[in-house]
Structure 1
Amino acid sequence: RRTEPVGGVYTLDLETERTYVLASLRLAQELFGYPGRASALVVRLAPGADAAAVRKAVAEAAGDGFRVRTRDELRASFYRIMTYEKWGIFFIALLVLIIASFSVVGALAMLIVEKRDDISTLRALGADTGLVRAVFRTEGFLICGLGAVAGMTLGVAATLAQQYFGLIEIPAETFLTKSYPVEFRPTDLAVVAASFAAVAALLSNITVRSMIKTDRL
């Protein structure tokens, strides 16, 4: 039987608190019967280092007798939940975008009705239905494009501000971070832009084709 004094109590996430106890290397070696040895080694990488490349190099140097894992692999369940949350928010935002886009449909329909005389003039000059539709379809793209540029600019600015300054904090003391974790990724921005472009193209095309069906408005 052996008694060791408690030096302090730490508070992290519940899984860590139930799994780990911080102790000196000497004490851990004595308790587990590994004198002069260690069961694991944590490597801190330099900023900007490629974790996957370092993992591969360390695994090749250590051999098959050691298992090398990155932080993402060690906390796979946590990052999996964060990924599900990200895509859940994306689909909810996409649904809100589709609903909000009906205001663009209304604006484009009113524009077509307002420009009936101009459409008649274009037809008198020889414009066919395809050309007239293309004109108003382009107008719909311009309306949606201006909103998309403004929205993505504000979104990127807010994301970068949260990423570097942590403006929105998590109201709890049991997480590994105090502020809500975000990371700006150009690929995610490209997915959002492509989704918005698809919704804008679909709604503009449906609106124009339904309002301008034949040689008459």
Structure 2
Amino acid sequence: MFKPLTLYIGLRYTRAKRRTRFISFITLTSVLGIALGVAALITVLSVMNGFEAELRERILGMTAHATIAEQGGQLRHWEQLEPALGQDKRVLGWAPYVEGQAMLNADRRVSGVMIRGIMPGYEPRVSEVANHLVSGDLSQLVAGGFGIVLGAELANYLGVIPGDKVTVITPQVTSTPAGILPRLKRFTVVGVFQVGMFEYDRNLALIQIDDASRLFRMDDAISGLRLKLDDLFFARKIARELAKTLPGNYYITDWTQSHANFFRAVQTEKRVMFIILLLIVAVAAFNIVSTLVMVVTDKRADIAILRTQGMTSLGIMEIFMVLGTIIGLFGTLLGSIGGVLLALNVETLVPAIERLFNVQFLSADVYYISQLPSKLIWSDVAQITGMAFLLSVLATIYPAWQASRIKPAEELRYE
């Protein structure tokens, strides 16, 4: 049973006397060690959350939350689905598309590319590409105009700018008297976009959907409908429920299937980083063991006197567990406050440090994300502080148990 006396004595032992200043110094380093570990863990996880959110925003800004198609990878009479989609409040927008692999040729350079045929009036409903145009406009993609919008990296590789011509080479072939030849079509570059993801900036080109249908010989069919949902984290559930309500035999895929490996890798990296940094907190927490062992050694006579006055072994354990718990509590609170402040201000502090020392941690020439993002999640803070405090409490058990085993007669024999 917890007794106020044990709390009082434990608090008294946290204050240093002249002959125990070294012990107090060790206690202070234990507190600071825990604080630094907790602050580092909160800050690093917040930065990783920021990177994950930034990548998800960029990827899902170009990728549909869900896609509707029929068996065979095509969709006919997609206009019939609009009334059903419009009735579902979870579907914020939809846009038809035609997609296929091709090769682009400009001068002497050739590059494989994913050609996506879009309807410029519908596309802003499901993607952010219109907000990332470096030059040109989606409205310049008109049926029969054979205009093309390239990713910035792709345009740079081909050495083209708006107004230049590129040749699109498709896998389909054409039979001629001279033999079987690949299908070729000249397009005019009418725009360039840059979303900051190599997957799209280097490998994606946009054309008008009717031009894409003619290019890939899809007649009156399209590849499917791209959907934007109100909550992307419930995309799988919404997709399953939507498939049951749509009239006809359709199948719906969501972004968790098309990018599952990428986001799973990000989550794995986050867990590994959490474990690594938690070990730092554990090392700092177990410094409490050495601190308490030294305090127990210094207070052996006091412990013996307390035992002779009737204090039980459990009471002695409580005294030193209170002492260690206070150390862990102060360290955890100090680290939590510091970590939260750093996580909330890392986007301001990092540029200030870069300007002060004239360095750049994330060069725009190398990294697509040149600024250090941060996203503080309070559940992470609660988990980190809880784990740090638990480790601190566990670290007090062994020294407290050793203190409870001290025999009063042996300690007071020569006093």
Question: Normalised by the shorter chain, which TM-score bucket?
Answer: 0.7 to 0.9
User: Is 1:30 equivalent to 2:214 in the alignment?
Assistant: yes
Deviation for aligned residue 1:74: 2.5
Query: Aligned partners of 1:161, 1:36: CA distance in 2, in Å?
Result: 54
SS in 2 for 1:23: strand
Query: Aligned partners of 1:102, 1:81: CA distance in 2, in Å?
Result: 32
Query: Structure 2, unaligned stretches of length 5 or more?
Result: 1-183, 351-360
SS in 2 for 1:41: strand
Identity of aligned residues (%): 23
User: Is 1:86 equivalent to 2:86 in the alignment?
Assistant: no
Correspondences of 1:112-123 after superposition (within 5 Å): 112-123=296-307
Given the alignment, which residue of 100, 103, 109 partners 2:287? 103
**Higher deviation after alignment, 43-52 or 106-115:** 43-52
User: Is 1:66 equivalent to 2:251 in the alignment?
Assistant: yes
Could you say which residue in structure 2 is the equivalent of 1:210?
402
Give the paired residue count.
214
Given the alignment, which residue of 338, 352, 357 partners 1:154? 338
Alpha carbons 1:170, 1:179 under 8 Å: kept: yes
SS in 2 for 1:122: helix
Could you say which residue in structure 1 is the equivalent of 2:311?
127
User: Is 1:16 equivalent to 2:208 in the alignment?
Assistant: no
What amino acid is aligned across from residue 141 of structure 1 in structure 2? T
Who wins on radius of gyration, i.e. which is larger?
2
Alpha carbons 2:328, 2:393 under 8 Å: kept: no
Q: 1:179 to 1:136 in 2, by over 3 A?
A: same
Query: Aligned partners of 1:64, 1:178: CA distance in 2, in Å?
Result: 45
Deviation for aligned residue 1:132: 0.3
What amino acid is aligned across from residue 41 of structure 1 in structure 2? L
**Higher deviation after alignment, 19-28 or 145-154:** 19-28
**Higher RCO, 1 or 2 (CA under 8 Å, sep at least 6)?**
2
- Higher percent of residues as strand: 2
Q: TM-score when scaled to structure 2? A: 0.44
Alpha carbons 1:58, 1:68 under 8 Å: kept: no
Deviation for aligned residue 1:157: 3.7
Q: 1:26 to 1:155 in 2, by over 3 A?
A: farther
Query: Structure 1, unaligned stretches of length 5 or more?
Result: none
Q: 1:122 to 1:159 in 2, by over 3 A?
A: same
User: Is 1:137 equivalent to 2:321 in the alignment?
Assistant: yes
Alpha carbons 2:316, 2:400 under 8 Å: kept: no
In angstroms, what is the RMSD of aligned CA positions? 3.3
Deviation for aligned residue 1:174: 7.2
Alpha carbons 1:136, 1:208 under 8 Å: kept: yes
Could you say which residue in structure 1 is the equivalent of 2:185?
2
Could you say which residue in structure 2 is the equivalent of 1:171?
363
Query: Aligned partners of 2:252, 2:349: CA distance in 1, in Å?
Result: 38
Query: Aligned partners of 1:139, 1:150: CA distance in 2, in Å?
Result: 17
Alpha carbons 2:313, 2:404 under 8 Å: kept: yes
Q: TM-score when scaled to structure 1? A: 0.77
Alpha carbons 2:213, 2:222 under 8 Å: kept: yes
What amino acid is aligned across from residue 135 of structure 1 in structure 2? I
